[in-house]
Amino acid sequence: MLETLRRHLRDLVKLIEKHHRKPLYTDFEDEIGSETGVELPGFAEAGDFEKFRAKTRAFLLEHQDNTVIHKLRMNIPLTATDLDELERILSESGLGGPEEIARAKEVSHGLGLFVRSLIGLDREAAKQSLATFLKGKTLTANQIEFINLIIDHLTEHGAMDAALLYESPFTDLTPQGPDGLFTSTQIDELIDTLEQITATALVPPCSQQITA
């Protein structure tokens, strides 16, 4: 059922209208009073988390020879033990406490995806992940450029939401996104490939239950 829903939603994404709002000008005069400090809930926490991300990225790039980090860079599937080891590494590094690690899991939908979002995929691994999709296909120049944009994104971010295929820079090639370059079957193959790449940074539920 979820697969059917996903395919229907893909067809609807391209129909979303982009609205442009005209600027609104006023002639009100500002009256500046005495300064009053205002604390905005969540902003301090957001700044702290960005610092945690930056420190963690630097740490990970210095430890790319670690087995688990190497797996994430090379798109090799993780095990539940790998994720436990990854959490241990981050905890013992002193980069952040349980709160930061818990938030990292939440915002990235898993610690593996969080780490990969910081270090990206190895470029050759990104190319190899698309090899099955490309096999036997003769592509046009625009199709090749579209695929290269995907590889660029994977190299920088480590994974990719299929919805981004319908946004810039992909729609700069064709306003319809992948629908303007590939058949429906090919698009489904491409989306499946992106989902498989994401899955290698996660652990199947059955694996988690076995190791629990």
Q: Where are the domains of the chain?
A: 49-121+203-211, 123-199
For residue 176, name the pLDDT band (cuts at 50, 70, 90): very high
What pLDDT does residue 9 have? 58
Mean pLDDT across 93-116: 93
What does the buried/exposed string (b/e) look like for 30-39 if buried means 16 or more CB atoms within 10 Å of the residue's CB? eeeeeeeeee
Summarised one tens digit per residue, pLDDT across range 33-74 is 555 545 444 444 678 899 999 999 999 999 999 999 999 999
* Separation between Cα atoms, residue 112 and residue 198, nearest integer Å: 9
Burial class (CB in 10 A: 0-12, 13-18, 19+), 76: middle
**Average pLDDT of the chain to the nearest whole number:** 85
Of all residues in the chain, the percent with pLDDT exceeding 90 is 70
Question: What is the model's pTM?
Answer: 0.76
